[in-house]
Structure 1
């Protein structure tokens, strides 16, 4: 097949199943639904790490977090590990970004020809306080992340509209290109703050929204690793009431629809410039959001609300309207972009595969997706392995979890301790240890973080250093 252009749209914190095309009963996502209808949606798609900076470093390089050492939101991608943008630019291909990347900084040699409205970790240091893990502080105090919930127009909303408008402009300039190009558009919705224009919030009545499942007030007992996260920074307590929980969910749903509208503007420009028949379109997100389930908000957990991501690929040669069962990951995007553009990348060691090839192949339900977490709120590392049937969580020093995804897609029933599943547990632990040394990687991450903490003056100084909440975006 001839090489294509690539338009890669990445959102931030979009839960995997919150699209009409994914079967959600009331979410409004007409543009993403239309994209899925003309392409392939991967039902079992995951992030390599359920937190922004490590996930995006893996995405940039096609490598796992433990391979590149970008452990948390203070250790960002700096270009030292080659990635797809570097390979493309070295081959002479026009490769530009618009919006959020969340790398070390704009000056880092990450490969883009131009970065329009770039967003990186604040001051090149990010959340230094989140690197303090050994020992983990008992609590960071009341969470400020959900102080603002409701209708309005936030800097994040304005930024996303500017990113979409700039993407429309750039696509207008690509119409005459004879060589494949790659354009990355990084949107920040539906990431908190949960503030959204009223017209989108009007689509979701908070009073009609059911409260999240498995709240501890109902008698549910959280896994000890998760409970430690909640004690460290209790977002649910900061939200406070059932009324505000429903409003928070309504705002999140509205932000997903707001995001869909920005995607629609970009896709309309692609079509109006005659580029849709020669362009591969990828839509995904860096990770999901717990959205109140188990009394947890934000991300950072191994459950699918946090580790699952939407994944849609469309374009020449991609099956229309297909739902692929093969487990995939953001790790696969590097080789997708290289394969679709025809870019030869000597030295590329990514374990990923082209999503276009996977879409055209028979489903591979036994293929594994992997995720890991070594960041804020965790005393020890957490790892996830998932195929299309089972999802396994390994917590260093704590009991594992196992879920049957076919029978229990909501992950309500942990099977890890049941004798009937001993063989499945043994198989997944063996496969995990073939991939990495869980305890050794945990020690390595903590050692790197300890060096970072010392570089900022030690534990107490580090706890006072870094952006306290969401990374700010440029304001016009």
Structure 2
């Protein structure tokens, strides 16, 4: 298997010419005489792949996501290569696996010298704007390279106005209202304030729907009467389970487990209702952006991409949150819209990932992607072309000291099978037949009929890691506190406190 393939091109875009985008060291070859398109990329947080109305959700209504899908393309098998905020966002911005961009947790900053794809767009003459959650190296919200307009906040930010406020082009300003609405205001104002024919790129990066979920006031209670159906795998006695790893069973009673979620008495059904209510604000934001582009007269020619930065669990396998290599964690929504390029109602079945966003947007801008990218452009797939595509995808997650219940994980996913290797544990590997067992309940590592599949995927996993420079585990100094270890005041402890204290809610004894 070839580790990196040349990015596919639309039929109308021929081989790269010698002409290159202008800029100091950032010029990229242009793709023939292609017209650079406007691009809007909207990213949400913790949005799982099936939480959209058109996916047949029992109660959630997302008319604007439905609008994107009906008028454009639904990439039904979109994934992230690391299901965690900062690594996934760094993969989007660099086109690289986490082991190459080295942003492997939510605490450490981006390595110096990292190039983000909007810098290539700037060098090619684009006007660029970043509005929203940056998160990588969360102690700072200073403007980053590649953006003419910058609106952001420190770390996770706050749904409601707080003391930190926002950083607008390097100036600290108060947050005035609900964060999803306010970020959309900034994005729309920037779009409407543009003049002339200069192509533009907007990156709207929402805090929503990150936990703890906080709906806009107008949406609170919208789903109070909705009925949450717990997943079968939330039940520890579910008869479909076969050969679960011990670390997964143990995690049920952890910060990310349904027995003791976030070390609290949180009710998973109410948690999910809050999640859906919070998502309504993100859906409305999409609608406002689309309406703005329409009023500007550029909607049909603009490539609009919507995506989640990782999935999220609500009881599946007895877990909540993300990080793991199960489908509900690593699979995300992804929609593309551009009537000039894409037929309405298109559905793409091939596996597309966050590492593909950068080359896809560069191709929409008429630029050839750099050779060092791990991802490749999905523009041809969305346009309905017959494109040679990957037949497997690498997943990686690196153990975090402040969330120690999830081990380092490597996985290889094909169209039918998934092989999962927990690194550094005396525990079981996992093998699932996704066609026969989409809920990933029956681990086939001991199945005699699947031993050849197991050997093949294990070999391909390590071949892919080796072929992409991923045969070392990144290790960094401790940053951030531990969710398992608490100081006397209840705050996270960066190191083992003396004496060791564990926070347990007073109304609940530890099971």
Q: Is the 8 A contact 1:99 1:119 kept in 2?
A: no
The 5-angstrom pairing of residues 292-441 of structure 1 reads: 292-315=315-338, 316-344=340-368, 347-359=370-382, 360-362=384-386, 367-374=391-398, 375=400, 376-378=403-405, 380-396=407-423, 397=425, 398-436=427-465
Query: CA 1:297/1:460 → structure 2, altered by over 3 Å: closer, same or farther?
Result: closer
Kindly indicate whether residue 248 of structure 2 is the aligned counterpart of residue 226 of structure 1. yes
Cα-Cα RMSD: 3.2
The 5-angstrom pairing of residues 39-188 of structure 1 reads: 39-78=72-111, 80-104=113-137, 105-107=140-142, 109-120=144-155, 158-174=178-194, 176-188=195-207
Mapped to 2, the partners of 1:38 and 1:116 lie a distance apart of 29
Mapped to 2, the partners of 1:329 and 1:211 lie a distance apart of 28
Instruction: Name 1:247's counterpart in structure 2.
Output: 270
Structure 1 alignment gaps of length 5 or more: 123-154, 467-476
**Secondary structure of 1:431 counterpart:** helix
- TM-score, structure 2 length as denominator? 0.75
Kindly indicate whether residue 277 of structure 2 is the aligned counterpart of residue 257 of structure 1. no
Q: Is the 8 A contact 1:380 1:442 kept in 2?
A: no
**Secondary structure of 1:188 counterpart:** coil
Residue 204 (structure 1) aligned to one of 200, 223, 228? 223
Instruction: Name 1:151's counterpart in structure 2.
Output: none
Instruction: Name 2:22's counterpart in structure 1.
Output: none
Kindly indicate whether residue 46 of structure 2 is the aligned counterpart of residue 13 of structure 1. yes
Q: How many residues align?
A: 425
Deviation at 1:121, TM superposition (A): 6.9
Mapped to 2, the partners of 1:117 and 1:106 lie a distance apart of 6
Residue 278 (structure 1) aligned to one of 292, 301, 304? 301
CA deviation vs aligned residue, 1:207-239 (integer Å, no higher than 9, x gap): 622123312543568522324544552453445
Deviation at 1:63, TM superposition (A): 0.4
Larger RCO: 1 or 2 (CA < 8 Å, sep 6+): 1
Query: CA 1:407/1:222 → structure 2, altered by over 3 Å: closer, same or farther?
Result: closer
Structure 2 alignment gaps of length 5 or more: 1-33, 158-174, 496-511
**Secondary structure of 1:208 counterpart:** coil
Q: Is the 8 A contact 1:392 1:400 kept in 2?
A: yes
Q: Is the 8 A contact 1:53 1:76 kept in 2?
A: no
Query: CA 1:47/1:293 → structure 2, altered by over 3 Å: closer, same or farther?
Result: same
Question: Relative to total residues, which structure has the larger helix share, 1 or 2?
Answer: 1
